[in-house]
Amino acid sequence: MTDFEREKHIQYFLSNLRMLPSPYTETETNRMTLAYFCLGGLELLGALETVVSDHNKKDWIEWIYAQQILPSEDGKNDPHCGFRGAPWSGECFTPNKTISEYHYYDSSHIANTYTALLNLLLLGDDLSRVNRKAIVNTIRCLQQEDGSIAPTFDSLERDVRFIFCAAAISYILNDWSGLNIERTVEHIKSLQSYEYSIGQCPGEEAHGGSTFCGVAALTLMGKQDEGLLDKDQMVKWCLDRQSTGFQGRPNKQPDTCYCFWIGASLKMLNAFQWINHENLRGFLMTTQTKMGGFGKDDKSFPDVLHSYMGIATLSLLGEPGLRTMDEAVNLPTTGMERLKQNCVFWNASQDTSL
């Protein structure tokens, strides 16, 4: 079987962390999340602390905090607090700021708020400058009457990805007061199709990515038993998605990212032992590229998302030399340990069964 090219993967993530290739220009607004794929990959490879200098870590921490939308004196920023995905043209680089002016169209995004917190933990920050109260209040503003979550205030977009982000943020910040748990659970129930797995929105077909988001959100809330309509049928649906790797939906080709989305779902459902580990690793070795990183399939060039997902799946499989991860938060275990050890608001004995 093909060898795992650890050193090539380290160089791949490091080069993309320092400067993304030009095709990523169209994803500029999500630079925070792209950074997480690189930092998370390096952390799982056990290389982040050795290949990245303390100076660079401090600089990146300052850049992340410069993307934080803080409450404004007039209160207009209240629904927009959190982290944006990249600098906004109207906001200068102002580290250590304590309050912000309201700028129309300048808003946080719930996915980038989630990955900003992950990045800060991986870089060794204690989250002391994160305005927890403001972020929790924004989550409250983003939740709709039906329990769904919008990614930004007044956005018409709704799907289970943003429910997962809200749950993960609440878990990391150890504050669930911004999320109506009962309403959230009921909405996740409405996303489960006749296949007993989870779609993006009510009435849509089951999908590997949204299944992960729903299962992870329920896991973080301690509501799996209450929120899953038929756990055994969901496990069957997930297992049926494997040929060599995992497909995201029936009649689709296997894809590196779904190896994690569905693999992690099965891990949370206590059914990971039922997959064919050898076939799964064999598929990932075909999507591993000669220059480092992973493509979505054996014919694709690598990208940072699929590269991170490939490494994360191998971590779930127990690949030698890789660190473990907390699959529900989608964060290397070392990041969770820093959260519990370094963040004053975190109580290691917290009860998530709210």
Q: What is the DSSP string of 107-135?
A: ---HHHHHHHHHHHHHTT---TTS-HHHH
- Alpha-carbon distance of 315 to 99, in angstroms, equals 40
Q: Max alpha carbon distance in the chain (Å)? A: 62
At residue 349, does pLDDT exceed 50? no
- Where does the pLDDT of residue 312 fall: very low under 50, low under 70, confident under 90, or very high at 90 and above? very high
Beta-carbon contacts of 58 under 8 Å, excluding residues fewer than 6 positions away, are: none
- How are beta strands 331-332 and 68-69 bridged, if at all? unpaired
Whole-number mean pLDDT of the chain?
A: 93
Residues of the chain with CATH 1.50.10.20: 1-26+241-339
Give the pTM.
0.95
Structure token pair of residue 329: 């938060």
Decide: residue 219, CB within 10 A, 0-12 exposed, 13-18 middle, 19+ buried: buried
Look at the alpha carbons of 335, 337, 339, 341 in this order and tell me if their dihedral is positive or negative. negative
CA dihedral 119, 85, 161, 142 (to 10 degrees): 110
Q: What is the pLDDT of residues 187-217, one digit of tens each?
A: 999 999 999 999 999 999 999 999 999 999 9
Length of the chain in terms of residues written: 354
- 26 by DSSP, 3-state: which? helix
At residue 287, does pLDDT exceed 90? yes
At residue 110, does pLDDT exceed 60? yes
- How are beta strands 325-326 and 82-83 bridged, if at all? unpaired
CA angle in degrees (0–180, nearest 5) for 18-32-245: 90
Indicate the residue type of 280.
Answer: L
Contact between 254 and 248 (Cβ < 8 Å): no
CA angle in degrees (0–180, nearest 5) for 211-246-217: 20
At residue 340, does pLDDT exceed 50? yes
Contact between 45 and 12 (Cβ < 8 Å): no
Nearest Cα residue to 119 out of 350, 339, 346, 348: 339
Thinking of the domain 1-26+241-339, which architecture would CATH place it in?
Alpha/alpha barrel (1.50)
